[in-house]
Amino acid sequence: MTFVEVEKTMISMKDPKSKKKFVNVTPLSSKAKNRFVNIMQSLHAMEVEQETDNMLFLVSINRQYCTWVPKGGNEHWRIEK
């Protein structure tokens, strides 16, 4: 599935009446720091597109990067509330 297909799926899954939720992330690993600077334009805020009991599906503000992250963070990303 291409990024464009993923983005179209995410858009179609949105409820137009619900308020958007955002979290701030801090990159921890070198891979995350690289993506943060080169793909996310060093913007900490990410939109929560989907949420499960213990996971968040996050999309960068510029819509160029998305990832699943545990609510408590992981070795790559720290979730700042």
Distance CA 5, CA 33 (A): 26
H or E element at residue 56: strand 55-60
**Which residues constitute the domain of residue 63?**
21-80
In a domain, 13, yes or no: no
How many domains does the chain fold into?
A: 1
3 in a structural domain: no
How much of the chain, in percent, has pLDDT values that exceed 90? Answer: 74
pLDDT tens digits, 12-29? 565 566 789 999 999 999
Note the pLDDT of residue 33: 98
Residue 11 lies in a domain: no
5 in any annotated domain: no
Average confidence score pLDDT of the chain: 89
Strands laid side by side in the 66-70 sheet:
66-70, 55-60, 45-51, 21-27, 77-80
- What is the pTM assigned to this prediction? 0.76
Mean pLDDT of 22-43: 97
Query: Given a cut of 90, is residue 73 above it in pLDDT?
Result: yes
Per-residue pLDDT tens over the stretch 42-61: 999 999 999 999 999 999 99
Q: Let me know if residue 65 belongs to a domain.
A: yes
The domain that contains 39 carries what CATH number?
A: 2.30.30
Amino acid at 74: N
